[in-house]
Amino acid sequence: MAVPIAVLDCDLLLYGRGHRTLDRFKLEDVTDEYLVSTYGFPRQFICYLVDLLGATLSRPTQRSRAISPETQILAALGFYTSGSFQTRMGDAMGISQASMSRCVANVTEALVERASQFIHFPKDEATVQTLKDDFYALAGMPGVLGVVDCTHVAIKAPNAEDLSYVNRKGLHSLNCLMVCDSRGVLLSAETHWPGSLPDCTVLEQAALTSQFETELHKDGWLLGDSSFLLRTWLMTPLHIPETPAEYRYNMAHSATHNVIERTFRTIRSRFRCLDGSKGTLQYSPEKSSHIILACCVLHNISLQHGLDVWSAPATGHMEQSEEEYEQMESVDSEACRVRQELLLTHFS
């Protein structure tokens, strides 16, 4: 007698069909305290991300289509905020480590697609003026449209021959150029630059420079430290202040520029995958750059949701860029004139 043989649909077993899902984790089944302690964010924030990214994460062309958007988002948040793929976390959500990894990749790309929606300079005059007023209230520095600096994030070595990602400490990293406002909201984030490039070179080649030289220079400027060249749209400290006005300028500059350093600390503290405490990002430079940018998007969204308490410094070894640089002397006479006029008008 013939014995019937069942032919199993492996894709059905792995990924389900239609609305069926593999994961057994339900957001409504856990407490707010559990969500914050495990995934770093409260329920309202997570629900917002589900609404924002749900359609993208439910695309039928993606392999993770059987895993619900909320589970994919929680898996990614768990990685971003802890810095590691934890078997226990995957088990609790009912998904494998491989699925956890795919969830992180899918959520990362969905956030990167929306980067320009959440990270941008204001365009209308009223908002620009508010930006300047908020900076002026910090330390009396007028005309500031943002503070700019670079920070390094450690990544695994791309390959033995590629030394472009080796920074001055001998570690492989990405050098990330960012601008923030007075609250720490990111206005620009370029996360793909190789770690061997000094800050001044990154800025020279960055889209940010092109933006400010062609579009955004409207009676204002960015503030940058002495690793950058003075420009008409970028005010740097005086190397050797001599007069009371120059000392006052430098003090106001330093107090205002400190906002970006606090912002870097907050981002690393909130997203431990970036702070080096769990090791380097184990991805290619391109994927690592996308993870950093995704965290930047989440940082801005969290500020929109009132999660804006400055965090304590992270414990990892990848800290604010501390490059050994020569003091950059500007040869731009117009930039020197603009800074001198600023000194005379506001600090004398």
| pLDDT reading at 22 higher than 80 | no
Q: What is the pLDDT of residues 264-317, one digit of tens each?
A: 999 999 999 998 777 789 999 999 999 999 999 999 999 999 986 554 444 444
Mean pLDDT of 34-44: 89
C-alpha radius of gyration, the chain, whole number: 23
- The model carries a pTM of 0.86
* Alpha helices (runs of H) in the chain, residue ranges in sequence order: 10-15, 32-39, 43-57, 69-82, 87-93, 97-113, 115-118, 125-139, 199-205, 207-211, 244-270, 285-304, 333-342
Identify the residue whose tokens are 């990362």.
108
pLDDT at 87: 59
Q: What is the pLDDT of residues 177-190, one digit of tens each?
A: 999 999 999 999 99
| pLDDT reading at 19 higher than 90 | no
Nearest to 64 by CA among 76, 49, 46: 76
pLDDT at 13: 36
- 64 DSSP assignment: G
Whether 106 and 71 have beta carbons less than 8 Å apart is answered as no
Q: What percent of the chain shows pLDDT beyond 90?
A: 64
Nearest to 234 by CA among 217, 251, 246: 217
pLDDT at 89: 64
Identify the residue whose tokens are 């050797």.
240
Identify the residue whose tokens are 């707010």.
32
pLDDT at 66: 75
Q: Cα–Cα distance between 293 and 211 in angstroms, integer?
A: 19
| pLDDT reading at 145 higher than 70 | yes
| pLDDT reading at 27 higher than 80 | no
| pLDDT reading at 175 higher than 70 | yes
Q: What is the pLDDT of residues 114-129, one digit of tens each?
A: 999 999 999 899 999 9
Cα 108–chain centre separation: 12
pLDDT at 322: 46
pLDDT at 69: 92
CA-angle at 108, arms to 296 and 315, nearest 5°: 50
Query: Based on the number of CB atoms within 10 Å of its own CB, is 167 exposed (0-12), middle (13-18) or buried (19 or more)?
Result: buried
On the CB side of 236, CA atoms within 13 Å amount to: 20
Nearest to 297 by CA among 114, 161, 168, 129: 114
Q: What is the pLDDT of residues 76-111, one digit of tens each?
A: 999 999 887 665 666 667 778 888 889 999 999 999
pLDDT at 315: 44
